[in-house]
Amino acid sequence: MTSSVRDDAAKLLASALELYDETSATRTALDDLHRRLHEPLRLALAGMVKAGKSTLLNAILGEKLAPTDAAECTRVVTWYRYSTTPSITLHPHEGEPRRMPIKREAGRLVLELDGVAAEEVAWIDVGWPSTGLRSVILIDTPGIASLSTDVSARSTAFLVPEARPSSADAIIYLMRHLHASDLKFLESFRDTAAGSSETVNAVAVLSRADEIGSGRIDSMLSAQKVARRYEKDGDLASLSLGVVPVAGLLAESAKTLREGEYAAFKELAALPRDDRERLMVSADRFARPSEVTTLSEKVRKDLLARFGIFGVRLAVALIRGGASTSTDLAEQLVQHSGLNELQGFVREQFRTRGADLKVRGVLDGLEQTIRDDPREGTQSILAGIERIRATAHTLRELSLLSQAKASGLPLRPTDSTTAERIIGGQGVTPTARLGLDDEATDAAIREEVDAQLAYWRSLSQSPLTERAAVEVCRVVIRSLEEIASEVLRAARGADVDAASGPAQSVGERAEEQGEDSESGLRDEELLEHGSVLSGPDKL
């Protein structure tokens, strides 16, 4: 999205603000929309109780900030945003916000309601100097479909309100299995987030994925197969952009791996094979008294609590496969947890489209707000909203992508698949849109763009193509033209760089390639040892 589209939305907001008194509820709502337009992407984590939302949030941040127990604070919507200094602010439904003390226990941030009942709290705001929060606001929500209707209602009111757009720009929806309640929630979010069927901005996460294979060393492969099957489910496919399996507990613990834990895993890896396999045959056996290892029962139980039996088995296998330091082990555990794939998905589908998602949500919020409290001058603002929706190409892409997911495109199946990819269904980089390798040259990209433009222009001009299909073709053609312009701009920039001198020496490039090769060799060594299966979807 060009900055002009966001600027146009900001101008409409500014015009609306001039129409209302500073003390009115409408003015407060408009101020919130203005703030939302200019702040980072709001990414909410949602799912049923015990789906692993807080654990995944901690894994994403690489720090234990979100509580994972059953404390009162887990029954409240909690925002995590970047701040240069730590702060915790409780916002009650009635009364002024109150600053809360910052406490840590066993390395984990402690959130307390300080005697305030959960139902009296609107939300908690945590400001934290985490680099992971510079470009995104993470929102932890209470479990839906909870036995406590009050708890479920808080998430529902926040994520799928009846009279306004959702407060979240996009969501990561965690599920252990696909239930009717999951589909119902995702459908509500799609139709509330930015108007009915205007965009699909959710990714489904198959959480606690290591449990699908009963903690076996190949559990993540089993989880990947289940995720691919769910992706082909017609109902879920229309509501989410993809399904990613993640072992959240493993990811969280790997991000905070301690030297003592690495030493314990190393001792287990050094055991004779028969002793090692008998010890790790099950979680119960691993925690029992044993004479084959000097590790105490407490140490082994702590490892189970932190990593699970899958994580213990995987860590031992990786050390035997060549992970020679705690840093190596942590990186490889994270890689096998599925976290990297999820973060890449979020980056490609949400963060690169953050401005688009924000403008979409803000425009819908602005429309709803001024329709509920009309003034002289609001009609021109409503006209401006419709003009942006009709002319902003990236918003048209979002609408068409939603149509492709929800009801399909009026094209042949092969053309529908290609069109969905070109408008950004698999990512918004030129190579992702064109279905090319990430390392494709500019020449290869230009060649593919030219071929696709010729095809889609021909299809749009064919007398046999129906009007609805022609409209789809026009959006696809515009997307291809944007790719061509982007490649041309990049080529001109490269010419300027070449004229002014190399930005990177040959030696530096070779060193980086060497580092990449070393990273690849580690995976090859693991495969040679036969201890870890990577599969076609290896991270």
What HEC string does 489-528 produce?
HHHHHHHHHHHHCCCCCHHHHHHHHHHHHHHHHHHHHHHH
The chain-wide mean pLDDT, for the chain, equals 86
Burial class (CB within 10 angstroms; exposed 0-12, middle 13-18, buried 19+) of 20 = buried
Provide the pairing of β-strand 170-175 with 136-140: unpaired
CA distance 193 to 191: 6
Q: What is the DSSP letter of 351?
A: I
Q: What is the pLDDT of residue 104?
A: 84
Residue 494 confidence (pLDDT): 59
DSSP code at position 118: G
Tell me what pLDDT residue 493 has: 66
Q: Alpha-carbon distance 400 to 450, whole Å?
A: 22
Predicted pLDDT of residue 529: 38
The full set of domains in the chain, from first to last, is 39-250 (3.40.50.300), 251-337+516-529 (no CATH)
What is the signed CA dihedral for 458, 461, 466, 470, rounded to 10 degrees?
80
pLDDT at 232: 83
Question: Which residues of the chain, if any, have pLDDT below 70?
Answer: 1-3, 69-72, 145-151, 192-198, 493-539
**304 φ/ψ sector (left φ>0, alpha ψ -120 to 50, else beta):** alpha
Give exposure, 354-367, as e/b (b: 16+ Cβ within 10 Å): bbbbbbbbbbbbbb
Q: Which strands sit side by side in the sheet containing 87-92, from one edge to the other?
A: 98-100, 87-92, 121-128, 78-82, 136-140, 41-47, 170-175, 202-206, 243-245
Two structure tokens written together for 120: 């009296």
Question: What's the pLDDT at 519?
Answer: 34
Residue (of 218, 59, 60) closest to 135 by Cα position: 60
Which tens digit of pLDDT belongs to each residue from 71-122?
A: 667 788 999 999 999 999 999 999 999 999 898 887 778 888 878 888 889 9
Question: Greatest CA span in the chain, whole angstroms?
Answer: 83
Residue 535: phi and psi, rounded to 5, are: 75, 175
State the pTM of this model.
0.82
What is the sign of the dihedral through the CA atoms of 57, 62, 65 and 67? positive
CA 438 to chain centre: 21
Task: Please count the helices (runs of H) and the strands (runs of E) in the chain.
Answer: 22, 11
Residue 373, helix vs strand vs coil: coil
The count of other CB atoms within 10 Å of the CB of residue 539 is 17
Residue 285, CB-side half-sphere exposure with 13 Å CA sphere? 11
- The 3-state DSSP class for residue 68 equals coil
386/392 Cα distance (integer angstroms): 10
CA 412 to chain centroid: 31
Q: How far apart are CA 525 and CA 520, in angstroms?
A: 9
- Would you call 191 exposed, middle or buried from its count of C-beta atoms within 10 A (0-12, 13-18, 19+)? middle
The span from the CA of 154 to the CA of 77, in Å, is: 7
Q: How far apart are CA 513 and CA 210, in angstroms?
A: 33
